[in-house]
């Protein structure tokens, strides 16, 4: 798996859910309806979050196909429209949108799918660059070793530091038995 691939999938899924909610709410308001409130808003948020989670569970390499994301956005808009139709009575009276409205939503979903796919790709590229730079930044040059003393007395002291001590037990232990 590439560096940042799982975060790119999560980012794409979150953006699909967010834009599904935004486009659905904006279309509802522009059609003459009110902003959803109460249980309708909560249900719309849950539906759009579920669509975003499904869109974020894409391929393992982190590269989400724009068509997959556009289908996710369209599904989120369609389900969101049905939720708003069922929970609130809005101005355009019909449960299904007109052909013109469906075409505009479809075009917006395709454009957003391409843009979200590019954002996911940029996330993977940035994570890869940052992981490569981390190797360069963390490296702090050559390892330094301590110099050994060069005079014979210093070498003797260093090499024989633990050898010159007494190896017998302490006097208290030796005479107590």
Determine, yes or no, domain membership for 170. Answer: no
Residue 55 lies in a domain: yes
Q: Which residue has the higher pLDDT, 7 or 119?
A: 119
pLDDT digits (tens, 9 = 90+) for 14-59: 888 888 888 888 877 777 777 777 888 888 889 988 888 888 886 6
pTM confidence score: 0.63
Domain enclosing residue 124, as ranges:
5-132
Give per-residue pLDDT as tens, 111-165. Answer: 888 888 888 888 888 888 888 777 777 766 666 666 766 777 777 777 776 665 6
Q: Is residue 106 within a helix (H) or strand (E), and if so which, with residue range? A: helix 99-138
Task: Assign 101 a pLDDT band (cuts: 50, 70, 90).
Answer: confident
pLDDT of residue 132: 79
Backbone angles phi, psi at 136, to 5 degrees: -75, -40
DSSP string, 50-102: HHHHHHHS--TTS---HHHHHHHHHHHHHHHHHHHHHHS--TT--SS--HHHH
Task: Read off the pLDDT band of 12 (50, 70, 90).
Answer: confident
Question: Is 20 among the domain residues?
Answer: yes
Task: With cut-offs at 50, 70 and 90, classify the pLDDT of residue 10.
Answer: confident
Q: Is the pLDDT of residue 177 over 60?
A: no
Average pLDDT over residues 76-81: 84
Assigned domain for 87 exists: yes
Overall domain count for the chain = 1
Domain-located, residue 143: no
Q: How confident is the model at residue 60 (pLDDT cuts 50, 70, 90)?
A: low
The top-scoring range by mean pLDDT among 11-20, 55-64, 101-110, 165-174 is 11-20
Q: What is the pLDDT of residue 97?
A: 66
Q: Does 169 reside within a domain?
A: no
The structure tokens listed for 15 are: 């953006």
- CA separation for the pair 11, 8 (Å, rounded): 5
């Amino acid at each position: 798996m590439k560096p940042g691939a799982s975060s790119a999938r999560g980012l794409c899924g979150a953006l699909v859910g967010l834009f599904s909610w935004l486009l659905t709410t904006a279309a509802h308001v522009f059609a003459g309806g009110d902003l959803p409130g109460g249980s309708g808003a909560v249900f719309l948020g849950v539906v759009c979050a579920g669509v975003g989670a499904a869109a974020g569970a894409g391929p393992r390499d982190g590269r989400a196909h724009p068509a997959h994301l556009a289908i996710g956005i369209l599904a989120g808009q369609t389900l969101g429209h049905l939720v708003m139709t069922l929970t609130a009575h809005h101005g355009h009276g019909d449960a299904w949108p007109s052909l013109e409205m469906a075409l505009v939503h479809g075009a917006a979903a395709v454009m957003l799918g391409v843009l979200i796919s590019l954002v996911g790709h940029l996330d993977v590229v940035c994570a890869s660059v940052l992981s490569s730079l981390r190797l360069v930044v963390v490296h702090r040059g050559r390892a330094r070793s301590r110099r050994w003393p060069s005079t014979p007395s210093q070498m003797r002291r260093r090499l024989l530091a633990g050898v010159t001590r007494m190896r017998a037990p302490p006097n208290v232990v030796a005479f107590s038995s």
